[in-house]
Amino acid sequence: MAEAVRQGYETRALVRDASRARRIDASAQTVVGQLTKAETLTDAVANIDAVVFTQGSSYGDASAAEAVDYGAVKNVLRALAGHRVRIALMTAIGVTRRGSTHDWKRRSERLVRASGNAYTIVRPGWFDYNNDDQLEITLLQGDTRHAGSPTDGVIARHQIARVLVDSLASDEADHKTFELVAEHGHAQPDVKPIFGALDRDPANTFDGVRDQVNMPVETEPERVRQDLRTLGSANQA
């Protein structure tokens, strides 16, 4: 939120409880709603140009993961009702490793790709484990780091915010999925060349470029396949 305001965006924050919004930058508008209830999101998405998703559930809670990690994306896309926006979605490094609640984060990525919107999908490493000299933004593709620990990569929260917000105005970041970590070195003044060095996600597919082919759509729960069909139909309309 602070990064979007800093970059000069007219910023709107969705909050569940207005009384708890005091920590939000005073320059941002606040709208009360719940990501898990699509009917409460009309005001939040009215006349917007972009959405930044940073929501997350407690790791290991499958029902919360479906409702929050996945359901929130589904509900916002439904509330948009075909209105085109730029999307920046934060999921997690290791999201393609099967057998965990991360499966719902991966399904949320698929919804975004099916929606027909311009998008950037950011899979950050472990938050705020950086050393002081670990500031060089590094983007990876293929999601090959699955240790489930900070050895997969680390990244500061302010760096995640910067990459998410920077992606909104970058053609180089459109239709790209990547893991985000920080290496030893200085922060780059401009991340567009880093975006530009990446490969785009293939057209007409649900997964990121070079992702493992280990989650066949045809074996997914019927409700998930229906969501993809619905969004795909809306995209073609």
Residue range 54-105, pLDDT digits in tens: 998 877 788 999 999 999 999 999 999 999 999 999 999 999 999 888 999 9
**Residue 6, domain member (yes or no):** no
Q: Kindly write down the DSSP assignment for every residue of 171-228, as one continuous string.
A: GGGTTEEEEEEEESBPPPS--HHHHHTSPPPPTT-SS-TT--S-S-GGGS-HHHHHHH
**Is 188 within the bounds of a domain?**
yes
Q: Which tokens hold the place of 139?
A: 């983007």
Could you read off the pLDDT of 169-219 as tens digits, one per residue?
Answer: 999 999 999 999 999 999 999 999 999 999 999 998 999 999 999 999 999
Residue 232 lies in a domain: no
Instruction: Report if residue 169 sits inside a domain.
Output: yes
Kindly state the tokens that stand for 111: 């919804």
Share the mean pLDDT of the chain: 93
Whether 23 is in a domain gets the answer no
Tell me the C-alpha distance between 90 and 102, whole Å: 12
Residue 179: phi and psi, rounded to 5, are -90, 145
236 pLDDT band (50/70/90 cuts)?
A: low
What residue numbers bound the domain in which 186 lies? 33-220
- pLDDT, position 150: 96
Total number of domains constituting the chain = 1
> Does 96 map to a domain?
yes
pLDDT interval class at 235 (50, 70, 90): low
12 and 28 Cβ atoms separated by less than 8 Å: yes
Q: pLDDT at position 232, please? A: 77
CATH of the domain at 210: 3.40.50.720
Q: How many helices (H) and strands (E) does the chain have?
A: 8, 9
| Mean pLDDT, rounded, for 153-159 | 97
- Phi/psi-derived region of residue 148, left when phi > 0, alpha when psi is between -120 and 50, beta in every other case: left
Find out whether 64 and 105 touch, Cβ atoms under 8 Å.
no
Per the domain annotation, does 60 fall within a domain?
A: yes
What proportion of the chain, given as a percentage, has pLDDT over 90? Answer: 85
In the predicted structure, residue 229 carries a pLDDT above the cut 90: yes
pLDDT tens per residue, range 50-64:
999 999 887 778 899
Q: How far apart are CA 213 and CA 39, in angstroms?
A: 35
Task: Fill in the DSSP letter of residue 40.
Answer: G
Question: pTM for the whole thing?
Answer: 0.96
Residue 58: what pLDDT? 75
Res. 234: pLDDT tops 70: no
Maximum C-alpha span of the chain: 50
Q: Is position 230 within any domain?
A: no
pLDDT at 65 (0 to 100): 94
